[in-house]
């Protein structure tokens, strides 16, 4: 579950980064730096990194338990 959240948050934050890049061409309304910090920065920190580390740790733990049987 945590690895899935990690993967989805990477997609969501990359969409936000793409939107920020597209503002150069006036294709979408302007995204500000504070909005990018909130969406891209916190999304990557909490969603991708934190959930990824928790998911990876839980999968390693369950793999070690399965190897004991």
What confidence tier does 31 reach under pLDDT thresholds 50, 70, 90?
confident
Higher pLDDT, 11 or 31: 11
pTM of the complete model: 0.73
Q: Does pLDDT of 33 surpass 80?
A: yes
> Which tokens go with 55?
């998911």
Q: Does pLDDT of 42 surpass 90?
A: yes
Residues 6+ positions from 22 with CB-CB distance below 8 Å: 28
Domain count, the chain: 1
**Which residue range(s) make up the domain with 25?**
2-68
Compute the distance between CA of residue 29 and CA of residue 69 in angstroms, rounded to an integer. Answer: 56
Dihedral angle at the C-alpha atoms of 18, 21, 24, 25, nearest 10 degrees? -30
């Amino acid at each position: 579950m945590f690895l899935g959240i990690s993967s989805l948050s990477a997609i969501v934050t990359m969409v936000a980064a793409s939107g920020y890049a597209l503002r150069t061409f006036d294709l979408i309304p302007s995204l500000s730096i504070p909005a990018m910090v909130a969406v891209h920065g916190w999304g990557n920190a909490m969603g991708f990194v934190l959930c990824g580390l928790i998911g990876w740790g839980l999968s390693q733990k369950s793999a070690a338990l399965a190897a004991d049987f």
